[in-house]
Amino acid sequence: MDIELQKVSYSYGVGTPFEKRALFDVDLLIPSGSYQAIIGHTGSGKSTILQHLNALLKPTEGTVRIGDAIIEHKKKPKDLRPVRQKVGIVFQFPEHQLFEETVLKDIMFGPMNFGVDEKEAEARARTMSKLVGLPDNVLEKSPFDLSGGQMRRVAIAGVLAMKPDVIVLDEPTAGLDPRGRKEIMDLFYQLYEEQNLTMILVTHSMEDAARYADRIAIMYNGRCVLTGAPLEIFGDAEKLAEFRLEVPHIIQFQKRLEARLGFSLPKLCLREEELAETLAAALKERER
Amino acid sequence: MNEILSLKNIAFTYVPDQPEVKNAVEDVSFAVNEGEWIAIVGHNGSGKSTLARIINGLLFPQQGSVSVLGQPMNEENLWDIRSQMGMVFQNPDNQFVGATVQDDVAFALENNGVPYEEMVERVHEALAQVKMTDFLDNEPQHLSGGQKQRVAIAGALALRPRILILDEATSMLDPQGRAEVLATVMKLREETGLTVLSITHDLEEAMLADRLLFMNGGRKFAEGTPQQIFDLGDELVKLGLDLPFPIKMAKLLQQQGVALEGGYMTEEELVNDIWISNFKK
């Protein structure tokens, strides 16, 4: 399911003295099956875009197309439930949304809210909790007795249980320790590959975007200023600096190393393992 | 050097009526000198935040004692002691009370009976320190996450505390916001001799500290300079932390058979090592 934003503008508090424009003429196409990262600083409009992706906000101007559904300012939207079921959003700190008595019931809440019967919802909850790596014995526990990392998995399972085609992640690793962060990001990548999902990662982490995404969009002061493949975007440090962003750490390091060694590696690397392999191969080549 | 804070054999459980549940903090002792920057690191659930709350007197340990400036903390002097500490939590949404940014920063001052003129001055000064002066009359709810956190930090700074406790306070900021806040804390420390206690997962933040306290399973697993702690290598990774980029990269290169000396903290040193070990033979 493609999502397309055409000339989307959005203002908060239209018609009040507090009116504030958050988005300006944003064009963005997110094709089905891609792993799209949306990067920008605090206040760049990332979160406002995010809320357009499943029609929580309607554009003030322009059009948002989510699959077949068209969302525009003037038009009264038809039933938005199918859209919201198809696009699942994992908000920042999703564990704050848990509320049910048991983990099982919490995961079942989403699908049942969309009209799935109890039996099916429970079956989904059991499958999804396995998929996100929750042990079976937590299903009957209160979600509030779990650790932060596990609570977050419960919340993610709840989104997955709605069987969305698209998953939108809003800073999904905020507050997790490094191990938890890697586990969660690897989990999403695995879901992306195995479940044929479209992933949209809204983040300010250049590192995560470089490591996982196949398409990047850069937001700056409410505009979408750059789109492209990770290597295109991250290869151009000067351009990124215009938008007060730095290239990922790993690329900075590669450039610094190349300057010192006096030769360039055959390719720009986005993952640490890749850089280690490429450099080792280049050094062996030179020895000969 | 003047000892500003000391913890002796602290043990704490959230459920004292359930002895079978493991203590959240077990037998932790350490001391902080005035002007020092201490980082408490450890994975989620290692007892870091519990420790911060014990230091601030939000929680009282079942065993052991906390002393601030040589005074053992008790219910009588708690408020005096607490006024020496500014605490900033992870999620700023949970600590907003004012209708505007400046009201919010003024809240604690008002509570402490600071005269109006001084209050205004301190609020402006604190907001300037976190670069939020342009937002004096904005509603905190309408700020973005990073901006909110900077306001929360200003709220703590306005009290002019002797100790600033940052409980994962930068974890929701973007890289630039984080750098700004950390630079602010460093500057404050230089100018006012502020003692800083930061609880963090962020390795770059931890590396700024003079000393690290590494918590695992409620216990103090190790204590030392950033260099000493990161020398633990794989052990850190096993316990849920990451290694700083140069150390991680060096290990990956060694696994690929690249000759390296190792034993450093900065990227510059790694670049030099790759150069010297492989080309200057």
Summarize pLDDT for A30-70 with one digit per residue, the tens.
Answer: 999 999 999 988 778 998 999 999 899 999 999 999 998 99
Say whether pLDDT at B92 is over 70: no
Q: Using 50, 70 and 90 to split pLDDT, how confident is the model at B147? A: confident
| The pLDDT of residue A180 | 82
Chain B residue at shortest CA distance from A147: B45
Percent of chain B with pLDDT over 70: 98
Domain presence at residue A38? no
Q: Is B166 on the interface with A (CB under 8 A)?
A: no
DSSP letter assigned to residue B21: S
pLDDT over threshold 70, residue B28: yes
**Domain boundaries, position A269:** 248-288
Q: What is the tens place of the pLDDT at every residue in B165-220?
A: 998 888 777 777 787 778 878 887 887 788 999 998 888 889 889 999 999 989 99
B279 and A261 within 8 Å at the Cβ level: the answer is: yes
What pLDDT was estimated at residue B188? 78
C-alpha A30 chain-centroid distance: 12
Please report residues of A whose CB lies closer than 8 A to that of B274.
257, 260-261, 279
Is A17 in CB contact (< 8 Å) with chain B? Answer: no
CA dist., res. B73 & res. B56, Å (int): 10
pLDDT band at A157 (very low <50, low <70, confident <90, very high): very high
Return the pLDDT at B258: 87
Contact flag B172-A253 (C-beta cutoff 8 Å): no
A77 interfaces chain B, CB cutoff of 8 Å? no
Per-residue confidence (pLDDT) for residue B145, from 0 to 100: 65
Residue with tokens 């990770």: A230
Interface test with B, best of A179, A253, A260, A275 (most B CBs within 10 A): A179
Is B98's pLDDT higher than 90? no
Q: How many residues does chain A have?
A: 288
**Structural domains in chain A (count):** 1
**Tokens in use for B268?**
């510059």
- Quick one: CATH architecture of B3-226? 3-Layer(aba) Sandwich (3.40)
- Asked if residue B281 has pLDDT above 60, the reply is no
Whether A240 contacts chain B with CB within 8 A: no
Contact criterion met (CB < 8 Å) for B240 and A179: yes
Q: Which 8-state DSSP code applies to residue B20?
A: T
Q: Which of A21, A283, A288 to mutate to test the interface with B (most CBs of B within 10 A)?
A: A283
Is residue B22 very low, low, confident or very high in pLDDT (cuts 50, 70, 90)? confident
Give a yes or no: residue A269 inside a domain. Answer: yes
User: Domain boundaries in chain B?
Assistant: 3-226
Exposed, middle or buried: residue B106 (CB in 10 Å: 0-12, 13-18, 19+)?
Answer: buried
pLDDT > 90 fraction of chain B, expressed in percent and rounded: 30
pLDDT given at position B280: 63
Rg for chain B, CA atoms, rounded: 21
B66-84 mean pLDDT: 88
pLDDT score of A57: 92
Residue B240 distance to chain A (closest CA, Å): 5
* Chain A residues touching residue B242 (CB < 8 angstroms): 178-179
Phi, psi (rounded to 5 degrees) for A256: -65, -40
CA A183 – CA A135 distance, rounded (Å): 15
Q: Which of B172, B177, B272 sits opposite A174 (nearest CB)?
A: B172
